[in-house]
Amino acid sequence: MFNLKSILATVSCLTMLMTCGFANAQQAQDSLIISLDQAIEIALEESNSIKVADLTIQKTGYSKKGSYAALYPNITASGSYQRTIKKQVMAMDFGGQSMEIAVGKWNNVNAGISASMPLINAQLWQSLKLSALDVELAVEQARSSKIAMVSQVKQSYYAVLLAQQVFEVYKSVYDNAAKNLERTEHNYNAGKASEYEYLRAQVNVKNAEPNVFSAAAAIDLAIWQLKAVMGIDLTSKIGVAGDIDQYKGEMMSYTSYGDNVNLENNSTLAQLSLQEQQLERTVKMTKYQYLPTLAASFSYNYIAMGDDFNFKWNPYSVAGLSLTIPLFDGFSKHNNIRQYKATQDILKLNIEDTERNLRIAFKNYDNQIATYMKNYAAAESTLEMAQKSYDIAEKMYELGKATLLELNDAQLALVQAQLTMSQAIYNFMVTKASMDELAGNE
């Protein structure tokens, strides 16, 4: 029986999906296709977090240079002018007769230059070493930001590849459902298929549509996420090169870390180590506050005084040494040293806990990867049988020796194997990126 309404609905769905597929293909054609290395390179150039890290290094470098300025002479020039409003009067006795004399001049001018610099100051020298560690810490923090950025870009890139693979699988499912509907409709009109089977074929097409649309939307969302991580304009059109299956070889050749985890390049531990060194320098700097300091000074000045502006300039100069010996400060430095040492002990415990947790994380990732590899192997061994089973079921359905339900079951097994394989590769690559981040691999 010829059902015009059902045919029109089917044609409408096919047209809509073809339009969606054409639009996606056209968009991919108009987009800039980038590789994973290119995506990472763009992210390292455009990401705001990387720019902030680089500016922090510059800022800390300027602070270090400012600290070294304390070693150089501090030279200043000064000048002053004073106008006497009322002169000071001095009373004096001369031979029993009291006299009052006005002292000073109406105009007083003073100008000169002075210089000072530390000669012996152990505390200052330790503070300069502490500033150098600040720069090292800023550099390590910037390296940590770059490592984290690379990991985020990799994971976002893999997500796009997985979304594209899922779309292809669901699009294949829809194409097969549409083809079966066309075949079933032909048999139904010829009286070779029941109405139930015809309705079942229509339902299969309808059920396949949402998966295709969701998979297409997932691609757009994954690309947007990738653009956001890269730090580029969200309206820019980009695409990714390759597919998720290309990483199969990397997964199958993976070697477990076991207990031989190398954490020398881990950024978190490196930063904690630098903080420990900073505390050591701080303790030394506080201890050196007990030591005397010696500074040199020099000044050369001109002074002139007069009731009018016809001055006679008189120079004078002074050079000297200043020795400061700390005697008692109410145990302030002593308590500060004890406080810093307690902080050191806390930091050492934190370093031990951090290293222990990192090793646990590596072990967890290792076990996850082993599971992903087993899932892939199981799905791969199933895929060939599932494909063969589907081909047989499809042929038998064409000959009328199998039902549509049997064909659907065969297709479901095939799709499940395909998606399991793709998901296993994606999970492996994401986990591997996280492990590289923990290991500090750039």
DSSP 369-419: HHHHHHHHHHHHHHHHHHHHHHHHHHHHHHTTSS-HHHHHHHHHHHHHHHH
Give the residue carrying structure tokens 């400061």: 324
Quick: pLDDT tens for 241-286: 999 999 999 999 998 877 788 899 999 999 999 999 999 999 999 9
Helix (H, G, I), strand (E, B) or coil at 293: strand
**pLDDT confidence of residue 7:** 42
Q: What residue segments make up the domains of the chain, in order of their start?
A: 4-71+121-291+327-439, 75-119+295-325
Give this prediction's pTM. Answer: 0.79
| Separation CA 223–CA 220 (nearest Å) | 5
Q: Rounded CA gap, 65 and 110, in Å?
A: 34
Angle at 47 between CA 43 and CA 48, to 5 degrees: 170
Contact criterion met (CB below 8 Å) for 306 and 312:
yes
Instruction: Give the Cα separation of 56 and 139 in Å (integer).
Output: 8
φ/ψ of 47, rounded to 5, equals -65, 135
Which of 174-188, 351-365, 375-389, 391-405 comes out lowest in average pLDDT?
Answer: 391-405
Smallest Cα–Cα separation from 438: which of 257, 250, 260, 267?
267
pLDDT at 30: 64
What mean pLDDT comes out for the span 132-138? 91
Beta-sheet strands, E only, within 61-122: 74-83, 88-94, 97-103, 107-120
Options 1.20.1600.10, 1.20.1440.230, 2.60.260.20, 3.60.130.10; CATH of 4-71+121-291+327-439 = 1.20.1600.10
Alpha helices in 267-331 (DSSP H): 267-287
- Per-residue pLDDT at 120 exceeds 50: yes
The pLDDT assigned to 29 comes to 54
Assess contact for 418 and 169: CB atoms under 8 A.
yes
Listed range (127-136, 164-173, 316-325, 334-343) with the worst mean pLDDT? 127-136
Which is nearest to 418 in space by CA: 171, 178, 100, 197? 171
Output 31 or 292, whichever has higher pLDDT: 292
Residue 405: CA count within 13 A, CB half-sphere? 2
**pLDDT class of 186 with cuts at 50, 70, 90:** confident
Cα–Cα distance measured from residue 60 to residue 133, given in angstroms and rounded to the nearest whole number: 10
Top-confidence residue, 180 or 346: 346
How many CB atoms neighbour CB 185 within 10 A?
Answer: 19
* pLDDT per residue as tens digits for the range 105-115: 889 999 999 99
Q: Between these two residues, 410 and 19, which has the higher pLDDT value?
A: 410
Count of CB atoms within 10 A of residue 23's CB? Answer: 11
Instruction: Identify the three-state secondary structure at position 320.
Output: strand
State the pLDDT at residue 418.
Answer: 92
